[in-house]
Chains A and B, each alone.
Chain A
Amino acid sequence: MGSHEQSHDHDHHIIGYGTHLVIYFGLLLLTGLTVAVARVNLGELNLWVAMLVATFKAALVILYFMHMKYEHKLIQFLFVIALLALFLPYGAVFIDYLHR
């Protein structure tokens, strides 16, 4: 059982309860940060700071809760392609808007 359990853990990385809790508290902290920063008037920057914090939170959720950090190479590769497919049109719209 011991050696089977070990090889099983190796094949299938199981993230422990402790790691989940650390990520969770990190996410709560960042939520508090984003609410606090929104009360400071940074003008234009407010939106971008909020998006930056949200992206940090998203990264934590994707890498740990969604297991992407430990995922099969194929799944990681497809994820990057999907992000590019999403953000290239974003770039195109922003460039178009700025040059009107």
Chain B
Amino acid sequence: MSSHAASHPQDAHSDNPHADYIGDKVGFWFFLYTELVLFGGLFLGYFFYHMKYKEAFHEAGSHLNVFMGAGNTVVLLTSSLTMVMSLTALQKRKKGLSLLYLGMTILFALAFMVVKYFEWGAKFSYGLYPGSEILQSSHSDGVIIFYGLYFVMTGTHGVHVVLGLLALSWMFVWVWQGKIHADDYAYLENVGLYWHLVDLIWIYLFPLLYLVA
């Protein structure tokens, strides 16, 4: 492997004369680092207030449905598996298999959002939402902050799942059309990286929100 980033063997296979495989990935990782800082700030806020309002976080967290949270963890982990399977299949020139795995990834992403819909729906029906009367009147500052963090963190994560869904669907079309193939798959790999990041964030969100109790 060449030590310099501008000339990678993959580039020779690409139809694009300006292809820069390592550059594509370095650039995408830079984007992922900005995401890390976005969520990193929210996590820091969580840790800070967790230290400050231990009991309240404990009490508020016990109202979340561990079963749904754990179920969604399994759904996202499985979607990460099908995502890498899709990339491996494409690299091994198995286009049909790659599309099958990519389609499964999209279905798991949808399943995650359906569970989220029921979870948030249940909270709303109990009158638990940012600025709700029940939260403002009958609870401590710690509980209000816990639910504030809960909705902002799972909401920001949910937005990423939806964007990931769109990106995955876009990649599905491109693999289908043959725009992405075994010799030029940086797009699929990068969307995969984004999808794994969404999974990574959930790996931390799940214990922090659902299991602190």
A-to-B contact residues, CB < 8 Å = 7-8, 11-12, 14-17, 20-21, 23-24, 27-28, 31, 34-35, 38, 46-47, 50-51, 53-54, 57-58, 61-62, 64-67, 71-75, 78-79, 82, 85-86, 89-90, 93-94, 97
Q: Does B176 contact A (CB under 8 A)?
A: no
In the complex, the answer to whether B37 meets A53 with C-beta atoms within 8 Å is no
* Given A38-B211, A61-B203: A15 in contact with B88 (beta carbons within 8 A): yes
In the complex, the answer to whether B51 meets A20 with C-beta atoms within 8 Å is no
List the one stretch of B69-77, B111-119, B136-144 in contact with chain A.
B69-77
**B interface: dominant SS:** helix
Give the distance to chain A from B26, nearest Cβ to Cβ, in Å: 6
Chain B 28-57: CB-based contact to A (< 8 A → 1; otherwise 0): 011001001100100010011011000000
Could you say which of A54, A61, A71, A90 contacts B44, with CB atoms under 8 Å apart? Answer: A90
Could you say which of A23, A47, A57, A62 contacts B50, with CB atoms under 8 Å apart? Answer: A47
Q: What band does the interface of chain B fall in when counting residues whose beta carbon is under 8 Å from A?
A: 35 or more
> Which single residue of chain B is at the shortest CB-CB distance from A11?
B9
List the one stretch of B78-86, B126-134, B154-162, B165-173 in contact with chain A.
B78-86
Q: List, in ascending order, chain B residues with CB within 8 A of A71's CB.
A: 25
Q: List, in ascending order, chain A residues with CB within 8 A of B213's CB.
A: 38
Q: List, in ascending order, chain A residues with CB within 8 A of B36's CB.
A: 82, 86
Q: Does B66 contact A (CB under 8 A)?
A: yes
Q: Does B207 contact A (CB under 8 A)?
A: yes
Q: List, in ascending order, chain B residues with CB within 8 A of A35's CB.
A: 66, 70, 211
> Which single residue of chain B is at the shortest CB-CB distance from A14?
B91
Could you say which of B1, B29, B212 contacts A75, with CB atoms under 8 Å apart? Answer: B29
Give Cα distance in the complex from A86 to B213, angstroms.
Answer: 27
Give Cα distance in the complex from A54 to B207, angstroms.
Answer: 8
Give Cα distance in the complex from A11 to B7, angstroms.
Answer: 12
Give the distance to chain B from A46, nearest Cβ to Cβ, in Å: 7
* 14 A-B contact pairs sorted by A residue (CB < 8 Å): A11-B1, A15-B88, A24-B77, A27-B80, A31-B70, A31-B77, A38-B213, A50-B211, A54-B204, A54-B206, A61-B80, A64-B84, A66-B196, A72-B22
Q: List, in ascending order, chain B residues with CB within 8 A of A53's CB.
A: 207
Give Cα distance in the complex from A34 to B120, angstroms.
Answer: 23
Give the distance to chain A from B161, nearest Cβ to Cβ, in Å: 16
> Which single residue of chain A is at the shortest CB-CB distance from B34?
A82
Given A15-B84, A72-B1, A97-B51, 4 extra CB contacts under 8 A: A35-B70, A50-B211, A61-B199, A72-B5
Give Cα distance in the complex from A75 to B27, angstroms.
Answer: 10
A-B pairs with lowest CB-CB distance, top 10: A50-B207, A11-B9, A38-B211, A24-B81, A82-B33, A14-B91, A57-B203, A86-B40, A65-B196, A66-B196
> Which single residue of chain A is at the shortest CB-CB distance from B66?
A35
